Amino acid sequence: MPNTITLAKNYTNLLDEVYRQASVTADLISDSSMMRAGANANEILYPQIDVTGLGDYDRNSGYTDGTVSVVWKTTTFNYDRGTKISVDTMDDQETFNIAFGMAGATLQREKVAPEADAFTFATLAGIEGISKAAAATYADASAFLTALLEAKNKMDEDEVPEEGRYLYATPTLLNSVMALDTTKSREVLSSFTVKKKVPQSRFYTAIDLLDGKTTGEELGHYKKAEAGKDINFMIIHKPAIIKFDKHIASNIIAPANNPDSDAYISKYRKYGIVDVYKNKVAGIYLSHKA
């Protein structure tokens, strides 16, 4: 769709921007050194290791024979999104070089970061076998704190290490528990390596990625899926997930090199993956509303 640019008046030097925070899932990026290329370009392999347990020791024959199994699991890249922004040279000049200069930063803050978060949470929420609380809307901080304790108990029973557990919750819920300022609330929150507030607009169990082409989806970005639920909180054990970008293309084409128009072009593409190790699904705990 065409650009919408309001030309600046000569006396105007203020910039009106939408409030958006940076990505809250950036600290979940995985170590790509544990991955290797698959048979197909859109696949990666990761190792899954199993060993047999202890057996009876015999004073005559000695140890029982144990085995080690290393299996390379295959998973497929599931995120491939991009856009091309074009700003006419005169539009850029007549907005005091703001239009193009700020377009890239605005794209990252208002579109790329929120979508990356929404995709991460929705993908993890849809993984089969993860731990889930009963659907509920928590009436107050005490109810939320009780739910957190239940989640902690579940992960403890499943032997998920405490170190590396990241708590993501809506600002309303997380602020309510922090406001309690009780020994119990402090102890529960301190058990998480990271605590992050996630705006509800990024926190759904399912989203639709808009293609930017078909009718009704021209603006691109994402929206809450019809079957999607509002997430209350998620606990993610970082070593349980696979999250990294195989390829990010972000470059600028000057008007002199643009064969189609006298305009600046900014291209952005991100190709990556969000997934869970198949033997670590207990490292994800989800609570969502009914």
* 175 shares a domain with 41: no
Same domain? 70 vs 118 = no
Same domain, residue pair 45 and 188: no
Q: Is residue 271 part of a domain?
A: yes
Give the Cα separation of 243 and 231 in Å (integer): 20
Residues 255 and 114 placed together within one structural domain of the fold: yes
Q: Each residue's pLDDT tens digit in the chain (290 positions)?
A: 556 544 433 333 444 455 567 899 999 988 776 667 666 777 888 888 889 999 999 999 999 999 998 888 888 899 999 998 888 888 766 665 666 667 777 888 889 999 999 999 999 999 999 999 999 999 999 999 999 999 999 999 999 999 999 999 999 999 998 888 778 788 889 999 999 999 999 999 999 999 999 999 999 999 999 999 999 999 999 999 999 888 888 888 888 888 888 988 888 899 999 999 989 999 999 999 99
Amino acid identity at 218: E
Task: Specify the 3-state DSSP secondary structure of 135.
Answer: coil
Classify burial at 68, counting beta carbons within 10 Å of its beta carbon; exposed 0-12, middle 13-18, buried 19 or more: exposed
Query: Is 112 domain-assigned?
Result: yes
Q: Which residues contact 70 (CB under 8 A, 6 or more apart)?
A: 47, 48, 49
Q: Are residues 62 and 116 in the same domain?
A: no
Question: What is the reported pLDDT for 98?
Answer: 65
Whether 116 and 151 have beta carbons less than 8 Å apart is answered as no
The CA distance from 15 to 106, in Å, is 12
Q: Name the residue range of residue 49's domain.
A: 30-76
Under 8 Å CB-to-CB from 124, ≥6 apart: which residues? 130, 234, 236, 241, 274, 276, 284, 286
Indicate the residue among 76, 91, 109 that finishes a domain: 76
Instruction: Give the chain's domain count.
Output: 2
Rounded to an integer, what distance in angstroms lies between the CA atom of residue 245 and that of residue 273? 6
123/188 same-domain check: yes
Are 246 and 273 within 8 A, CB to CB? Answer: yes
